[in-house]
Amino acid sequence: MRLQGITVSNKVTDRPALVDRVLQMYADGMHAKDISSLISITPKSVPKILHDNDVRIRHSTEYQK
C-alpha cells in the first residue's frame, strides 16, 4: 500500500472517533485504566490522548468513590 502512496497507521491518535470517545468517557468521570480496557487500547494511550488534547489528568484522589 505504501508503494501506491497510501499510508497506514495504527496510532490511536489518528482515529478521531476513538479520540472523541476517550475524551467523552474521561469527561464523564471514568478512570483511564477502565477506558483502555473497555475500548481495547493500551493503558498508555489514554493519558497520551488526554495530553495531546490539553485535558488535565485527574489525581487519584479526585475520583468519586
- Among candidates 36, 34, 27, which has minimal Cα distance to 56? 27
> What architecture is the 12-62 domain classified under in CATH?
Orthogonal Bundle (1.10)
What pLDDT is attached to residue 44?
Answer: 93
pLDDT digits (tens, 9 = 90+) for 4-59: 666 555 566 668 899 999 999 999 999 999 999 999 999 999 999 999 999 999 98
CA–CA distance, 42 with 33 (Å, rounded to integer): 9
Question: Closest Cα partner for 39 from 15, 64, 6?
Answer: 15
Give the pLDDT confidence score for residue 15 in this predicted structure. Answer: 85
- pTM comes to 0.75
